[in-house]
Structure 1
Amino acid sequence: MPTVQEVLNQGWTIQQQGNYAAAEKVYRHVLQQAPGSAAGWCYLGIALYDQRRFEESEASYRKAIALQNHFPIAWNNLGNTLRMLGQVEGADQAFESALQQDPNYLSPLKNRGTLWVWTGQIDRGLAAFESALKVAPHDAELHRNLGVIHLLKGDFHRGWDEYRWRWQMPGFVRPNVTQPVWDGSDPQGKTFLLYSEQGLGDAIHFVRMAITLKERGARTIVQAAPKLIPLLSTCRGIDQLIPEGMLPARFDFHCSFIDAADRLGIDAESIPDVGPYLGPPENLQGYWANWLAQLPGKKKVGICWQGNPQHQADIFRSIPLQAFEPLASIPDVQLVCLQHGFGIQQLDQVGFANQIVRLPANLDQSSGAFMDTAAIMKGLDLVVTSDTSVAHLAGALGVPVWVGLPKVPDWRWLLQGETSPWYPSMRLFRQPEMKNWAAVMAEIELHMKQTESRSSVPL
């Protein structure tokens, strides 16, 4: 008959495969037989955390600690859960307890740094990560985190150096080729294989690096998700587009789009002014312009609220749809839903849903990912969005776009400023404190009313 630990190990194997609900069932079965198992409560806490059931996760870790106080893993995990619940001081105390029990335990050292960064205490977080390097000087995640902080603070030179460590982390995989990664040498006359590394927003944002390399004499081959090829084919700096999994017959160097920005020495003052660099075909724009013209309201404003819930920062950067309600009451403004997939269910949960125009269900299915959405955006007066791929798409199209940002945003938005050097058509609205989306939307509402009152000035 298997031991408690052997069954827990079986559950852990299931959990590492991503089947969190099944793992939870295993752990609960163990706890029915052995309710005094501190390890069992800790494993259950992890499964609940991975399902974003943070209150239940907290309770499970506290049961583990009540049964076994000297349990640094449980204290560390409790700290992480409290961090996600916004209980900053409690999280810090939990990390401190873990470190008192095991001073060289790397995970709470990292998590403490993340806690301070996410709550806006950037320099305190930076110091925590640097202290952790004394324990693990070659830890790739620590160096990556330092890179993100320096980039966020606008120190791109130090930031790029540290951020390169990400390629030594799990999940960052380059194409299996023999050609070297570009080292920043003269690109004149060389052929480059370029690819995205961090999702759709990353591809839309950084594909512009193909334009810069092309202007410096390179030939560019871009490898992209098949669904993105129609959109990226409108970028003028690409000589050849190929789907992921396919390799060109010949090329000299390869690198990700972000690698290219790094090796080109891009910083906040030297971002290439390439202007709008993506655009849907005119016939598609015309079709959706006619569709939008049938809607009521003088001003058409597209809204998007939810990013990928699997992103580690989604709980902070996505905006509840309910927060957009003040915009629905502005006279002569018609809200248009640009949300797809994740988060669309919120339309059935707010009282002002009838004031938001829903787009056809088959959007972007015939022309390619984002193609209909891009054409619609070109016909809108304004896009208001959280930090999602929609924000990058609007910026790449040159469409007026206002982005609501969390207290500590993604590094590319920097820590200050109402404008973005990446996108001239973008305006940034920043949280004054964590989770305060009401203040962000109040400011957006005020600016919309001010611009609406000046009829000669577009939203």
Structure 2
Amino acid sequence: MRRPGFRPRYGGRLSRHVDPLVQNPKSVIQAVADPFDPSASAVQARLEQALALIRAGHSADAEALCRALVGRIPANADSHHLHGLAALSGKRAADALPRLLRAVALAPGVAHFHTNLGTAQQGAGQSASAERSYRHALRLAPDQAETAFNLAKLLALTDRAEMAEALYRLAVALQPGRGKYWSNLGDLFLRLRREAEALRAYARADAVAGGPLVETAVNRGMAHQRLNRLAQALACYDEALVANPDNVAAHWNRALALLVSGRLAEGWDEYEWRWRLAECQPRPFEQPLWNGEALKGQTLLLHAEQGLGDTLHLARYLPLVAERVGELVLECQPPLRRLLADSFSFVTVVSAGDPLPDFDRHLPLLSLPRIFETRLDHIPTATPYLQAPPGAALPPGRAGTVAVGLVWGGDPAHRNDRQRSLDRQALASLLAIPEATFYSLQKGARTSDLADADPAGSAINLAPAIADFVDTAAFIQSLDLVVTVDTSVAHLAGALGRPVCVMLPHSPDWRWLLDRPDSPWYPSARLFRQTAPGDWTGVIHAIAAHLASLRSALATGSGRSFR
């Protein structure tokens, strides 16, 4: 709960009336018991006493004083207002609401009454009412920075970024010396993937504070990291950890920065901090975690914890794990069960949600690289480690073209999907490459993009023939090449040892590292990277050149034969 926006009408010289009460709040009891003086000056003094108590953090004492005032002068709007503020400062928004509503009813033209009513409404979960109160306050007093700030925060929470940005800008223009206004503007820019602007806003917040703010260190680090400035990002995370060694967000983002920079040994240890994230809860098993020790005659359960691609990526460790344990059980996402069961006959594979067999130890899949002390120079890269049925028959494509499987989008619910997936304009440019017949391996909501991006219908949609990853794998076996954004199909093609071109955003997932065209995880992969955030133009031009080269090689017999 934010502190209420105190804008009293009670005068500015408070110490004359309140020093004794603030220094000894117990004297409030005596003040309340004193005979009531209804004169304007005496009421003013009591109001100032209540306000000072609120500011000093003595909300209960302030409430006692305000309760007495409300009882004696029920038509006084200021007493109701301060009674509400006392509850609000005590984090009791529901109690504050009727008091502030009464103050607004008695004095509807006082802007900051509406602002503080909005704060109480927001704290009570009444966002729509809070927005109306903030907007009314701004109509009454357009120059109130705190009101603009509060409304901006509310709008940002409800994904109305354009209006939120305008109001944050108004707040910093009205009061450029308020650091929290600048840091919140920076947070909004970070959410909008406008990292350079975020860093400038954080710099203004730091300037106001007279030095770097610990409170913004993690977000500054994230902004640097998205710009691939890993040294600066790590310095920010270290700054946050000096102030608070248990800062979960700093540890987690530091893990990602270390891994993408290739410092795997440090990164795996930090990666375990994911279990302290609110969205990443450990499984509540009674059995202990496995630490890599030999489990002869015992059963280990490995369980998937993140996306389909993560499971395919880490499945490479199953043969290594099997050497150390008696029996191995893998719990995975249902669409992968048949593929993994066919590929690893020595593993009992069960779908998530199905009953589990008995087991003695367990481990989430993404802890395996730490257990096996994986480094860049000894990643388990033996491929193919997944087995697929013989290649599925492809519908005929254009004569003399490369048969290319295509995936252009990931799960729309993924937090970075807007960065990793192609928009329809980029998809249309890709589909226009003449050297290829594109076979869509895309599944899910984005399959409808194909009709918009390819009105001529030159691409062939395989989605109706794909029930699970076994079907996808069978088609990949028949294709010359797979071209995909960073989705599970990139991991599937790489794990099958099939040629795959992975189109990566400017700031990629940790496993693709930086500044290299190959992947130490998948020898058959070629990586095509954005040179600027959001710009797929160079990637598509490079893909086109690669397809032209591949078509020439196939035509001369130096590559695979055409179908």
Query: Which bracket does the TM-score occupy, shorter chain normalised?
Result: 0.7 to 0.9
RMSD in angstroms over aligned alpha carbons? 2.8
Is 2:189–2:198's contact at 8 Å kept on the other side of the alignment?
yes
**Cα distance 1:405–1:195, how it changes in 2: closer, same or farther (>3 A)?**
same
Name which of 113, 120, 126 aligns with 1:6. Answer: 120
- Alignment partner, residue 80 of structure 1: 187
- Report whether the alignment pairs 1:97 with 2:194: no
What is the alpha-carbon distance in structure 2 between the residues aligned to residue 224 and residue 99 of structure 1? 46
* Equivalent residue in structure 2 for 1:38, among 142, 145, 148: 148
The match for 2:484 is 385
Structure 1: distance between partners of 2:186 and 2:448: 31
Distance 1:86 1:167, change over 3 A: closer
Measured after TM superposition, the shift of residue 70 of structure 1 is 5.6
Q: Deviations over 1:337-376 (max 9, x none)?
A: 222224344335436563322235x454xx4x33332222
The SS at the match of 2:413 is coil
1:123, distance to aligned residue in structure 2 (A): 0.8
Counterpart-to-counterpart distance in 2, 1:193 and 1:89: 44
The match for 2:162 is 55
TM-score if structure 2 supplies the norm length? Answer: 0.70
The change in CA–CA distance for 1:199 and 1:88 in structure 2 (over 3 A counts) is: closer
Residue by residue over 1:133-182, the C-alpha shift from the partner in whole angstroms, topping out at 9 and shown as x without a partner, is 12211112211221221211211111112221111221222221121111
> Secondary structure at 1:343's aligned position in 2?
helix
Q: Which structure's relative contact order is higher, taking Cα pairs within 8 Å and 6+ residues apart? A: 1
- Distance between the aligned counterparts of 1:125 and 1:458, measured in 2? 44
Contact 2:148–2:167 (8 Å) recurs in 1 = no
Q: CA deviation at 1:185?
A: 2.1
Local SS of the residue matching 2:302:
strand
Following TM superposition, by how much is the alpha carbon of 1:86 offset from its aligned partner in structure 2, in angstroms? 5.1
Could you tell me which of 293, 314, 330 is aligned with 2:417?
314
Instruction: Specify every segment of 5 or more residues in structure 2 that has no aligned partner in the other structure, as ranges.
Output: 1-97, 102-116, 139-143
1:85-129: CA deviation from partner (whole Å, max 9, x where unpaired): 554442112112334556785542111001011011111111111
Relative to structure 1, is the Cα distance of residues 308 and 27 closer, same or farther in structure 2, using a 3 angstrom cutoff?
Answer: farther
Shift of 1:436: 2.5
2:93 maps to none
Which of 424, 442, 449 is equivalent to 1:339? 442
Determine whether 1:294 maps to 2:396: yes
Q: Which moved more, 1:253-262 or 1:56-65?
A: 56-65
Q: Is the alpha carbon distance of 1:419 and 1:168 closer, same or farther for their aligned partners in structure 2, counting shifts above 3 Å?
A: same
Offset of residue 446 of structure 1: 0.7
In the alignment, is the contact (CA less than 8 A) between 1:143 and 1:165 conserved in 2?
yes
**Alignment correspondent of 2:233:** 125
Report if the CA contact (8 A) 1:187-1:213 is conserved: no
Contact 1:210 1:238 in 2 (8 A): no
Distance 1:4 1:55 in 2: 21
* Alpha-carbon distance, 1:412 to partner: 0.7
Contact kept, 8 Å, 2:403 with 2:479, in 1: the verdict is yes
Work out the CA distance in 1 between the residues paired with 2:173 and 2:430: 48
Equivalent residue, structure 1, for 2:471: 372
> Does the CA contact (< 8 Å) of 1:303 and 1:384 recur in 2?
yes
> SS of 2:377's equivalent?
coil
Name the structure with the higher helix share. 2
Residue deviations 1:375-434 (CA, integer Å, cap 9, x gap): 222222111111112211221222211001122211111113222121222111122232
Amino acid at match of 1:43: K
CA distance in 2, matches of 1:334, 1:418: 24
Picking from 126, 149, 168, the partner of 2:276 is 168
Deviations 1:236-290 (A, max 9, x none): 16521223245644322211111112111122221223422334444xx43xx1x
Residue 11 and residue 359 in structure 1: after superposition, are their counterparts in 2 closer, same or farther (change >3 A)? farther
Letter in 1 for 2:519: S
SS state at 1:432 partner: coil
Residue number in structure 2 paired with 1:16: none
Contact 1:196 1:203 in 2 (8 A): yes
**What 5-or-longer segments of structure 1 have no aligned partner?**
13-22
Query: Structure 2 vs 1, CA of residues 77 and 392 (structure 1 numbering), >3 Å: closer, same or farther?
Result: farther
The number of residue pairs the alignment matches comes to: 435
Q: CA deviation at 1:213?
A: 0.6
* Structure 2 CA distance for partners of 1:312 and 1:98, relative to 1, 3 Å: farther
Q: What secondary structure is seen at the aligned counterpart in 1 of 2:370?
A: helix
Alignment partners' CA distance in 1, 2:406 and 2:440: 5
Report the equivalent of 1:207.
315
Query: SS at 1:220's partner residue?
Result: strand
Other structure's SS at 1:255 match: strand
| 8 A contact 2:341–2:347 mirrored in 1 | no
Q: What residue is the counterpart of 2:305 in the other structure?
A: 197
Which residue matches 1:303?
Answer: 406
1:415 aligns with 2:529: no
Return the alpha-carbon distance in structure 2 between the equivalents of residues 267 and 237 of structure 1: 28
Letter in 2 for 1:294: P
Q: Percent identity?
A: 34
Query: What's the CA shift string for 1:2-50, capped at 9, x where partnerless?
Result: 53222212448xxxxxxxxxx5x555434443336335423333224xx
1:428 matches 2:527: yes
